[in-house]
Structure formats: C-alpha cells, structure tokens
Amino acid sequence: MREKRLIVGGDPDERYPVPVEGAFQGDFLPAPELEQVAHALIRKHEMLDGGLGEENLTVLWKRKGGSSGGVPTLGKCAKLSGLARFFGHVEFVIWVAADHARAEGLTRWQVEALVYHELLHAELDDEKGWTRRGHDVEVFAAELAEYGAWRRDLSMFMEVARQMPLFETVPA
C-alpha cells in the first residue's frame, strides 16, 4: 500500500466535506471537487487512461446510496446508453452516496479510494468500446476460512493481501 498522500493534496485523515441533506433539490448534486480527484487519478494511473477523460466522465453526489445485500452502497459507476447517453454527453457517471459518506465519516483518503474503485469499473474494450468491468474477486470471509484461496482470483487477491502491512484497515 502506498503512503497516504492525496492526489490533489491536503490532509488524508480529514473528514471529507459531504454536502448536507438540504443542499439537494433532487437526487443528485454536481461534485466538481470529486471530479477533480477523478481526473487527477486518471492522469496518474496508466490503467485508467484509455481515453476516459473530462469529456467521458461526470462525478456526482447522490442523496441516498441505498444498499445491496444489506451492505451500504457507497458509490457506483454507471455506463450510460441510449437516451441517458444522448442527454448526459458522457460515457460514465460515477456517484458517491452523500448519506453513507456522512454517516460513516469518510476521510478524504477513503473518498479518494472510493472514486478510484469506481473508476476501475470503466474499461475500454478493443471490440466492444466502453464497457463496465466487474470486480476482480468476489468472496465471503467464511468461504476463505473454510476452503482458502481455492480459485485463481482468490489466490491473486491473497497474494496482494499478504504484501500489505497488518492492521492497515479503515479506522473505526
């Protein structure tokens, strides 16, 4: 894991300034500071630079993130198509859930990591054009405890995890 240095500078442990509920007039709110983070990440990381630039991406705050399988959804990368693509003028919209970011007290470091995570979903395929990529690994803790890294993707995940310092987790 790299040292905690934000892509746009600042204190990585500072709580991220999340818009308050009253700032929303609808479900979404422009997020120029988050967009700045996304564009800086794209410029820094070669794997993100497949042409995904300012003209292909917008980042928004979402009033409520909801949940999936009982787990809060912190953000999402949506591939636009059809009418949404026509009016949106971008390939992808990334949104960050303001309610969850506020409730969990996410730091600037955590929000940058979340934006990076969502950017990794955007992929330029030589044959299909822009697509939304799934996660590298899907696993339950109980599955790992019972059977270990029984699949190739789990083995790769475990190798990365072994290289990380112990107890480098999200602060409580």
Structural domain spans, the chain: 21-133, 135-172
Cα–Cα distance measured from residue 3 to residue 96, given in angstroms and rounded to the nearest whole number:
24
Cα–Cα distance measured from residue 103 to residue 120, given in angstroms and rounded to the nearest whole number:
25
Would you say 101 and 16 are in contact if contact means Cβ atoms under 8 Å apart?
A: yes
pLDDT band, very low/low/confident/very high, at 172 (cuts 50, 70, 90): very low
Residue 49 has pLDDT above 90, yes or no: no
Q: Are strands 57-62 and 92-97 parallel, antiparallel or unpaired?
A: parallel
% of the chain beyond a pLDDT of 70: 92
Mean pLDDT of the chain: 89
User: What's this model's pTM, rounded to 2 decimal places?
Assistant: 0.85
Q: Are strands 129-132 and 122-125 parallel, antiparallel or unpaired?
A: antiparallel
Residues 75-94 have a mean pLDDT of 94
pLDDT at 151: 87
For residue range 118-146, what is the model confidence (pLDDT) as tens digits? 999 998 888 988 899 998 888 888 888 88
Cα–Cα distance measured from residue 73 to residue 171, given in angstroms and rounded to the nearest whole number:
18
> What is the 3-state composition of the chain as percent helix, strand, coil, each rounded to the nearest 5?
40, 20, 40
Joined together, the tokens standing for residue 145 give 């405890």
pLDDT at 58: 95
The CATH number assigned to the domain with range 21-133 reads 3.30.2010
Greatest CA separation for the chain: 49
